[in-house]
Structure 1
């Protein structure tokens, strides 16, 4: 396989990642130590997030082929990409939390369901709890009225039994 075919295959792979991921968060990772990078990659693995360093020119071509406009503005300098396929907030949350303790990591922006997000939008996205937490809260809010209703029905039953 020649260099041209390799690059075309890489562009196709990047295009697939950009279109399949719910969320893609970009960061400048310059200055991180090997240990810090290893720690960050471990956090991503645990959350099911794919983390890659990609060539900006190939990413730019892939984005254009995928119909994503404006991504080039975020592709200056070394860029790492966190792809979230299942949990849309995980890449933003992990990078944002990591950047708080590791000042050398700098958020650049993101792509959420095909829409570009600036750094402020990414930080806002990072505050949304994981999907499991949101589901648990939702189920909890359903449970409270039902348990109150069950308590009320039981109280009515006990009152009727006392009257009888």
Structure 2
């Protein structure tokens, strides 16, 4: 069923709003997937904080105009679904990559991050990026390490003194 002009405008506005705040985008060809498989993918995307949309390429081109994802306009060819990461740059890539492992018919076509169009094989790099929580914990570990080392070093001075005094005491006891 064809969309009316008003419906097309609302779809373009919705996708444009999402694209303006998204951190990354992944486009994949879904030809051959069943409705149940696409529904499963949509559920996984919702759970992962990913906006997933099957949209006509002409409408998608209009939607990404003026956003950092304008670079994908020329690559929008064929039946594609667009996945936009809302929470962290790697979440869309992780969802699509994990789903593609189980379903060979889902083929990644390209990835876009920071206004740069990347080839499909870069989905591995994007998917391996840490989540926000993982990045914060890594940062905290790096920040905590010097303080811990300082505490161990400062604790070592009195500890060494105690061991030296104990060694002298043991030496005197054994001599006596």
Provide TM-score, normalisation by structure 1. 0.83
CA distance in 1 between partners of 2:74 and 2:17 (Å): 20
The residue aligned with 1:21 is 22
Unaligned ranges ≥5, structure 1? none
Measured in 2, the distance between the counterparts of 1:156 and 1:37 equals 64
Secondary structure of the residue aligned to 2:65 is helix
Aligned-CA RMSD value: 2.5
Equivalent residue runs for 1:1-164 within 5 Å:
3-64=4-65, 66=67, 69-160=70-161
Q: Secondary structure of the residue that 1:116 maps to in structure 2?
A: strand
Deviation at 1:138, TM superposition (A): 2.2
TM-score by length of 2: 0.78
Q: Which moved more, 1:47-56 or 1:66-75?
A: 66-75
Q: Paired residues, what number?
A: 163
Q: Which has the larger radius of gyration?
A: 2
Greater Cα offset, 125-134 or 85-94: 125-134
Runs (5+) with no aligned partner, structure 2: 166-176
Question: 1:135: Cα distance to partner?
Answer: 1.9
